[in-house]
Amino acid sequence: MNTSTLNPWILTLTTFLPAFGALLISFLPRRDRDIRWFALAISVITLLVSLHLPAHYREVAPTNSGSFAYEQNLRWITSPNIHYHVGIDGISLWLVVLTTFLVPFCVLASWKSIHERVKEFFILLLILETAMIGVFIALDLFLFYFFWEATLIPMALIIGIFGHQRRVYAAVKFFLYTMIASVFMLAAIIWLYAQSGTFDFVELQHLLATGAIALPGRAALWLFLGFFVAFAVKVPLFPLHTWLPDAHVEAPTAGSVLLAGVLLKMGTYGLLRFNIGLFPAEAHKNAPWIITLAIIGIVYGALVALVQPNMKKLIAYSSVSHLGFVVLGIYSFTRAGMDGAVYQMLNHGISTGALFLLLGVIYDRRHTYEIKEYGGLATPMPVYATLFLLITLSSIGLPLMNGFVGEFLILSGAFQAKAIYGIIAATGVIWSAFYMLWLYQRTFYGAVTVPVNATLPDANLRERSILWPLAIVALIMGIFPSLWMNSIDASVAGILGAQQAASSAPTLQVKVNTVLK
């Protein structure tokens, strides 16, 4: 088949395939085994279909900023003027693939650990996948909000039904935090529509950049904040992060993986695409305090992670720290920083996703996340220990692993923006090595401390087939970042270019050049 005929429909196909699968599952009889295989098949097919996107991206890559690849723009609702407008650039491309890549592993990870209400679980998981992909491809603000809110329910239900002891509390907290924050974004979206008569991101960006939309008084600031608060809760940016540890700890493994791997990226993606895309001048003006919050998040998240007695909570707080890096990179407004931020989003998806999957493996065996319950695991579980080490190294950013590339770029961007940002943020790297390696030492090295652990079976075939691919991808991303970076960099340059044209602030690039000289 000629692939170019597929191009306008490929995003729609990728997005709605999982939802279609969920619909089919709802008609299947309650035979858990069949449902698991079916869900796996659907998620793998979705992954394969989505690989069309990077495979042909070069042919359709947008040439100038403000245009998108694989675009499709259909009229959905006439009045109000809402379009089904989807498309991707080098940034959302990889986030879509990250999503479709992680879901099959989530299905596999839930193979044994979800044994009640299996049908409901996989229906929710697949609906969640559709909503997550939708968030990354939507170019109409209404459509974006539609998908954004649609992620909320399946995730809250996955936490609340299939989670651990305090699941209800965690689910309700997660729901209310994100729901209330995103209502402000809705108000901002509607207000923009009331002023301009369009929800289209590309049009709005153009209208705002040329000043065709009159923003009276401090309206621009309020709109910026309306979007910002919704994204900041999702990221989560300090001090709006308190829902995250609860949600992570209580969620089942697949829920944690998607929460950390994809849902948090929706926040940073939103910051990059919509906050900076629509209100560049406001973003510049507000960058100092946002960066400050990000840096507090980096250090605070790391320090709190250090003292956690619960492994899953430790990883959850490490997410706060890592996502702080991403926000820092975005708001450094340097090419290196933004490149690194996008790359770090992918890294964090892979490595933290893998860490939660790893924790799922021992949780299935021992039903606890307490660090003191483990010790000397390397003896009974050598393969598992090796994989855990690889992912740990990826998470702390050892050179040759993916984390290094992202953190290095972000920090160099931060130094370009202001040396002090880089200096403080860099301590986060040290802290992360500290808490992760200490965790590794306490759980894997030495003699077996708890007798039950001596007979734990090592990772089985299913578990290995989940963990090896992630470890290998982490390694490839560390050695050949250019495979990803070329398309990311082109899009970041586009955003930054539009930025500097629109921003009244003195161009940072000029400063950077003088500093470098």
Q: Is 74 in the site for other proteins (CB under 8 A)?
A: no
Q: What's the min distance (Å) between Cβ of 77 and other proteins?
A: 5
Choose one: 76-84, 252-260, 319-327, 452-460; the region binding other proteins (CB under 8 A): 76-84
CB 125 within 8 A of CB 36: no
- Least Cα distance to 323 among 231, 430, 251 occurs for 231
Q: Which two tokens stand for residue 282?
A: 């406001």
Q: Is 121 in the site for other proteins (CB under 8 A)?
A: no
Out of 57, 68, 121, 145, the residue judged to bind other proteins by CB under 8 A: 145
- Give dist(CA 206, CA 211) in Å, integer: 8
- Least Cα distance to 377 among 450, 322, 290 occurs for 450
Choose one: 160-168, 283-291, 328-336, 416-424; the region binding other proteins (CB under 8 A): 160-168
Choose one: 92-100, 140-148, 312-320, 482-490; the region binding other proteins (CB under 8 A): 140-148
- Give dist(CA 221, CA 240) in Å, integer: 20
Q: What's the min distance (Å) between Cβ of 364 and other proteins?
A: 22
Q: Which two tokens stand for residue 74?
A: 């259909």
**For other proteins, which is the closer residue by CB, 194 or 447?**
194
Q: Which two tokens stand for residue 154?
A: 């399946």
Out of 146, 434, 438, 468, the residue judged to bind other proteins by CB under 8 A: 146
What is the secondary structure of 208-253 as a DSSP string?
HHHT-S---TTHHHHHHHHHHHHHHHHTTPTTS-THHHHHHHHS-H
- Least Cα distance to 474 among 320, 353, 358 occurs for 353
All residues at 6 or more sequence positions from 41 whose CB lies less than 8 Å from its CB, including other chains: none
Q: How many of the chain's residues bind other proteins (CB under 8 A)?
A: 34
Q: What's the min distance (Å) between Cβ of 477 and other proteins?
A: 34
Write down the H helix ranges in 259-334: 264-270, 276-278, 280-306, 311-331
Q: Is 468 in the site for other proteins (CB under 8 A)?
A: no
| Helix or strand run (H / E) with residue 160 | helix 152-162
Q: Is 161 in the site for other proteins (CB under 8 A)?
A: yes
Q: Pick out residues in 190-209 that bind other proteins (CB under 8 A).
A: 190-191, 193-194
**For other proteins, which is the closer residue by CB, 153 or 493?**
153
All residues at 6 or more sequence positions from 40 whose CB lies less than 8 Å from its CB, including other chains: 104, 107, 108
Q: Is 24 in the site for other proteins (CB under 8 A)?
A: no
Out of 68, 136, 147, 356, the residue judged to bind other proteins by CB under 8 A: 147
Q: Is 149 in the site for other proteins (CB under 8 A)?
A: yes
Q: What's the min distance (Å) between Cβ of 26 and other proteins?
A: 9
Q: Is 160 in the site for other proteins (CB under 8 A)?
A: yes
DSSP state of 457: P
Choose one: 170-178, 339-347, 401-409, 456-464; the region binding other proteins (CB under 8 A): 170-178
Q: What's the min distance (Å) between Cβ of 16 and other proteins?
A: 12
| Residue ranges in contact with other proteins by CB under 8 A | 76-80, 117, 120, 142, 145-147, 149-150, 152-153, 157, 160-161, 167-168, 171-172, 175-176, 179-180, 183-184, 186-187, 190-191, 193-194
